[in-house]
Structure 1
Amino acid sequence: MDVTISRRDLFDGVALGCVISGGAPGRAEAAQKALRPPAGFVVRGDTSAALSVPHALRDGRFWEHAGPFVPTGERHDLVVVGGGRGGLSAASEWLRRRPHDRVLVLDNHDGSGGHAPLCRRAGADAVMCDEESFGADTLVKLTAPGWIGRLPIAVRARRDLLMLHDDPPDWLPGLPAQAKQERLAGLTYAQFLREVCGVHRDVERFSRTMSCSGWGYDTRAFGAIDAWGTGYPGFAGLGLDRAEPSRFNSPTVRREWHGPAPAPAAPRDERIDERISVRTSSPVVSVRDGVVGYFDGHQVLTVEAGAVILACPSAVVPYLVPDLPAGRRAALSRAVRVPLLEAVVRLRDPGAWRRLGVGRVRWTGAYWNESAFVPPDGVRLLATPCRSELGPGAGSAAGRRELFATPYEVLERTVRDQLARLLGPVGFDPGHSIEAIEVRRWGHALSPEYCRPWDAFYPDGPFPSDAARGPFGRIAIAGSDSEPAARGEASVVAAIRAVEELT
């Protein structure tokens, strides 16, 4: 009780009060635990400290407690809001064109440089048909001959799955290729399996997490046209030409049709130009009239800016620049990002995983839906909180709320539990074999990708990103949300475009 409470702590506490208002004391206690990681358990990314001020700003509570602006007397030729890949790319590109300018980068997290892409395109070489989906844990190696026959699913489901892989019929006979593509564009992959193929429900349940590691949501939200485009089972009998993508395929699928496109190298902390001043744990709260205000944990400091590039999530921009036209504010607010959660576990002895004989495991229904060995002694786990049955947008918003209300101790327990279930049979003890756990929590991880069946305006437009971007006085909108394609080089492309708009 004798510890001084900063304004940042106050905002975080008020945020919790809004989450648990009207709830029982038990819910309040659980919410407080969500703020404090257990001993020996590290949380990075969108921590409570990083999000408290942006959330208070969003909810209209920030200015009640923030106090007046305090000018620092500083003037910078460019201020970049957001220290991730796009923000640092914008700063570097600006200095390439104007090498003598002063550039300041502000970010609400405790580190800059963004984060490595959490989603992974390569497929798993084993599947854990887990207790959550099928009543008991059964590990099946996909590299073993006859692996479908080892799945703990109904006999008919095995026959259906074998058919999908080896000899699917033409599900849409008599339709021309364009009509077939239009039909697929109106379905998710889960709907395709259930409504078009009519397979046993165990097949859909077994396949559900196939898209999670690549897209951040499961096949109840993943479009059938993109499932066809990325080689999912069940489409071979349709007779569609695979020489080129469909016009309905999402931007990422189209870009990677002939192989993954190499993304430009992103600036990392150790490579940041010494001419760029980076301030972390400094959430921006106001951008107007050539003045940028940010919160340093105690007060709102201001700096003068000749130009500003907003390389933050688009949905944040209306709260920072209240003078934007209503139509543009609405377009920016439509960019709902997909949440992701990654755990990095360091093992004292990796022998158990080596004895397992697989590299990457997909789980069909557990909290963490992928686990992969990272030599020499690490394991990475991926969880996708999106409520996929609601679609990518609404599902991401609902999943993010659940993620932020999940106590850290639950995250630690599920990591230990799933590693014990996977590796226990080969001699793994979660109480002694785990040396450290770091969880990287990203409530706003992946920019939304325009895709069917969710975005009826795609691919013909107009796109919300077109209405959202473009200069507003000496302010430019960057960030991967402002590009129709949300993966790969999108944040770098947006950064260069924003610099061009201002120079």
Structure 2
Amino acid sequence: MDVTISRRDLFDGMALGCVISGGAPGRAEAAQKALSEPAGFVVRGDTSAALSVPHALRDGRFWEHAGPFVPTGERHDLVVVGGGRGGISAASEWLRRRPHDRVLVLDNHDGIGGHAPLCRRAGADAVMCDEESFGADTLVRLTSPGWIGRLPISVRARRDLLMLHDDPPDWLPGLPAQAKQERLAELTYAQFLREVCGVHRDVERFSRTMSCSGWGYDTRAFGAIDAWGTGYPGFAGLGLDRDQPSRFNSPTVRREWHGPAPAAAPSRDERISVRTSSPVVSVRDGVVGYFDGHRVLTVEAGAVILACPSAVVPYLVPDLPAGRRAALSRAVRVPLLEAVVRLRDPGAWRRLGVGRVRWTGAYWNESAFVPPDGVRLLATPCRSELGPGAGSAAGRRELFATPYEVLERTVRDQLARLLGPVGFDPGQGIEAIEVRRWGHALSPEYCRPWDAFYPDGPFPSDAARGPFGRIAIAGSDSEPAARGEAAVVAAIRAVEELT
């Protein structure tokens, strides 16, 4: 059989050579997409092609098939590993300080920029009390008076929810403010509702996905102290000072206490050279090796900034001290799944009369209209009942095992359930679906009740970051506050360490 199978195919366990007639880089990936994605449906982000080499490196399979290093003869003053917010910020900051240097950014994905920022402040204006949670779909508009009375929950649950919103008591009478905050720091919001407030189980189920769009996990993992800090119902009777955050609030809640911090994407300096679909596999002795689909090519680097997930770093820099490798490996990122849908009939959403819908238990837990003809859906695969760390690891494994056709089917199904009553046809009404799969999206935020060392430290990130020769670490999880502009802060710090 006269076929070509790239080494990348071997790393990912795929034998697609039977449909590939040449050896050009990227043809295996194109063949894979052609076989697995129907017309009008595409998957971006952490695809099988983007992850095959990093996973092979992690599992010890890469060097069995990689072959020898092939020098390119190139020399760059700075090589940045990772083309997300932090990587582009680091490259741009370097050129701002050294405008005549040569800067190269390498990334394993087919594009740069990373995932879209999450939204923590603006709430949904409607809730779909869905079949998965309550046995049938019921859309409730939160902007209309008396909306609690229209929820498909028990009479007692409605009464409890109304109390939480309008007149909650002091659940911790007799305790001073500091002791109340300490108690909240020991609980998740779901635990607060069940164990402290004693509300009906339907209230906890209705509230569960409130935190998903801002944090990547539900209220079984979201701390009660941060729920108080961001204005969730049930805390007004405690009498806590709202003029300032608690010392136990997570870094992001503290930073955004008086409004969300700006999270504009960094602009890319046109002098930066970028190579996508180029996973880095080795960084040592001033030489950076990356895989082009067939060979490990090398470039010389005056300095290297690692703007990738911290857990990846020990596989790229094997000479790191054991303690630092262990600290880097502790950073477990939260997975995310986005879908951007282009509608042929955007009038259906306008007829619905809402802008953003929270789902209480379906696969995609948020859907929002993006004018003029788009819908953005968000899913949070984290197994929140296990906590942010263990839950993210478990959810990521499930996400990567989910077939692409399931992702498409769930998008179409939920749009049909939401828009069908206003005349939407999910078969003919959708022009295109782009799913963005991010297994390592959000850097871990130090927060209570999960991190007993917070806020006093010492923090694992302190042991993980800092220069190692001419290498600096700039992933957003190298900062204790791992949201908002943390990637930019880490990038600037890494540049300062090397200049």
CA RMSD, 1 decimal = 4.5
1:111 Cα offset (Å): 1.0
Alpha-carbon distance between aligned partners in 2 of 1:435 and 1:230, rounded to the nearest angstrom: 37
Equivalent position SS for 1:25: coil
2:223 and 2:23 map into 1 onto residues whose CA distance is 38
What's the secondary structure of 1:403's corresponding residue?
helix
Change in Cα spacing, 1:482 to 1:64, as seen in structure 2 (3 Å) is same
Deviation at 1:112, TM superposition (A): 1.7
How much does 1:264 deviate? 5.4
The answer to whether the Cα contact below 8 Å between 2:4 and 2:17 also exists between their aligned partners in 1 is no
Unaligned runs of 5+ in 1: none
CA distance in 2 between counterparts of 1:385 and 1:13 reads 24
The DSSP-based 3-state class of the residue aligned with 2:13 is helix
What is the rounded CA distance, in whole Å, between the counterparts of 1:25 and 1:484 in structure 2? 39
Counting aligned pairs with the same residue, the percent is: 96
The alpha-carbon distance between structure 1 residues 33 and 401, as it changes in their structure 2 partners (threshold 3 A), is farther
Instruction: Classify the secondary structure of the residue corresponding to 2:112.
Output: coil
1:71-91 CA-partner distances (Å, limit 9, x unpaired): 111111111101111111111
Q: Deviations over 1:86-108 (max 9, x none)?
A: 11111111111111111111110
**How many Å apart are 1:20 and its aligned residue?**
24
Q: How many aligned residue pairs are there?
A: 499
1:287 & 1:29 partners in 2: Cα distance?
A: 25
**What is the Cα deviation at residue 265 of structure 1?**
4.5
**1:497/1:203 CA distance change after superposition, 3 Å:** same
Q: How far does residue 32 in structure 1 lie from its aligned partner after superposition?
A: 9.1
Pair 127,290 (structure 1): closer, same or farther in 2 beyond 3 Å: same
Q: CA deviation at 1:25?
A: 30
Contact 1:130 1:365 in 2 (8 A): yes
Residues 364, 302 of structure 1: CA spacing in aligned structure 2 closer, same or farther, 3 A cutoff?
same
Q: Describe the superposition over 1:281-329 as per-residue Cα deviations: whole angstroms up to 9, x where unpaired.
A: 1000000011100000001011111111000010000000011011100
Decide whether the 8 Å contact of 1:348 with 1:433 is kept in 2.
yes
SS of corresponding position for 1:140: strand
CA contact (8 A) 2:107 2:277 kept: yes
CA shift for structure 1 position 37: 2.0
Structure 1 pair 156/279, CA: closer, same or farther in 2 (3 Å)? same
SS in 2 for 1:260: coil
In 1, the alpha carbon distance for the partners of 2:235 and 2:33 equals: 47
Shift of 1:267: 2.1
Moved more, 28-37 or 18-27: 18-27
Q: Distance in 1 between matches of 2:405 and 2:33?
A: 8
Residue 114 of structure 1 and its aligned partner are, at CA, apart by 2.7
Single out whichever of 256-265 and 140-149 deviates more from structure 2. Answer: 256-265
1:116 Cα offset (Å):
2.3
260-269 vs 59-68, which moves further: 260-269
Q: Distance in 2 between matches of 1:312 and 1:386?
A: 20
- Compared CA separation, residues 75 and 339, structure 1 to 2 (3 A): same
Q: In the alignment, is the contact (CA less than 8 A) between 1:38 and 1:408 conserved in 2?
A: no
Q: 1:187 to 1:27 in 2, by over 3 A?
A: farther
Distance 2:69 2:100 in 1: 29
Higher mean displacement: 114-123 or 202-211: 114-123
Q: Secondary structure at the match of 1:453?
A: coil
Q: How far 1:349 moved relative to its partner?
A: 1.3
TM-score (norm 2): 0.95
SS at match of 2:75: strand
Q: Deviations over 1:159-218 (max 9, x none)?
A: 000000000000000000000000000000000000000000000000000000000000
Identify which of 435, 440, 447 aligns with 1:451: 447
Is this contact kept in 2: 1:228–1:235, CA < 8 A?
yes
> Are residue 285 (structure 1) and residue 253 (structure 2) matched?
no
| C-alpha contact 2:126 2:139 (8 A) present in aligned 1 | yes
8 Å CA contact retained: 2:4, 2:22: no
**Is 1:230 the counterpart of 2:230 in the alignment?**
yes
Q: Does the C-alpha gap of structure 1 residues 421 and 175 become closer, same or farther in structure 2, counting only changes over 3 Å?
A: same
C-alpha separation between the residues in 2 aligned to 1:285 and 1:103? 18
> Which of residues 426, 430, 443 is equivalent to 2:426?
430
Determine if contact 1:110/1:280 at 8 Å carries over to the other structure.
yes
Contact residue 115 and residue 441 of structure 2 kept, 8 A:
no
Given that residues 41 and 433 in structure 2 are in contact (C-alpha distance below 8 angstroms), is that contact kept between their aligned partners in structure 1? Answer: yes
**Would the aligned equivalents of 1:341 and 1:383 in 2 still touch at CA under 8 Å?**
yes
Distance 1:218 1:100, change over 3 A: same
Whole-Å Cα distance in 2 between the matches of residues 340 and 264 of structure 1? 19
Aligned-partner SS, 1:14: coil
- Contact 1:35–1:48 (CA<8 Å) still a contact in 2? no
- Which whole-Å deviations, capped at 9, do the CAs of 1:396-420 have from their partners, x for residues lacking one? 0000000000000000000000000
Distance 1:118 1:12, change over 3 A: farther
Q: Give the C-alpha shift of residue 31 in structure 1.
A: 16
Deviation string, structure 1 residues 37-74 (Cα, Å, up to 9, x no partner): 23321111111110100000011110011011111111
- Which secondary structure state, in structure 2, belongs to the residue aligned with residue 269 of structure 1? coil
Q: Which moved more, 1:16-25 or 1:281-290?
A: 16-25
Q: Secondary structure at the match of 1:361?
A: strand
**CA 53–417 in structure 1, closer or farther in 2 if over 3 Å, else same:** same
Q: 1:268 to 1:138 in 2, by over 3 A?
A: farther
Q: Cα distance, 1:35 vs. partner? A: 8.0
Which 10-residue stretch deviates more, 325-334 or 5-14? 5-14
Any conservation in 1 of the 2:117–2:263 contact (CA below 8 Å)? no
Check whether the contact 1:30–1:407 (CA below 8 A) recurs between aligned residues. Answer: no
Correspondence for 1:152: 152
5+ residue gaps, structure 2, are: none
- Matched with 2:3 is 3
**CA displacement 1:244-297 (0-9 Å, x = unmatched):** 000000000000001112235512487xxxx22111110000000111000000
Residue of structure 1 in register with 2:457 after alignment: 461
Q: 1:132 Cα deviation (Å)?
A: 0.2
Distance 1:194 1:206, change over 3 A: same
Q: What CA distance in whole angstroms lies between the structure 2 residues aligned with 1:120 and 1:450? A: 17
Task: Tell me the CA shift for residue 28 of structure 1.
Answer: 19
Q: Following the alignment from structure 1 to structure 2, what is the Cα–Cα distance between the partners of residues 128 and 448?
A: 29
Instruction: Give the equivalent residue in structure 2 for 1:92.
Output: 92
Give the conservation status (yes or no) of the 8 Å contact 1:348–1:377.
yes
Q: How does 1:300-315 map to 2 (within 5 A)?
A: 300-315=296-311
Does structure 1 conserve the Cα–Cα contact (< 8 Å) formed by 2:3 and 2:21?
A: no
The whole-number CA distance in structure 2 between the counterparts of 1:148 and 1:191 is 22
Quote the offset at 1:113 in angstroms: 2.7
Preserved CA contact (<8 Å) 2:349 2:369: yes
Contact 1:50/1:110, CA 8 A, preserved across alignment: yes
Q: Deviations over 1:219-265 (max 9, x none)?
A: 00000000000000000000000100000000000000011122355
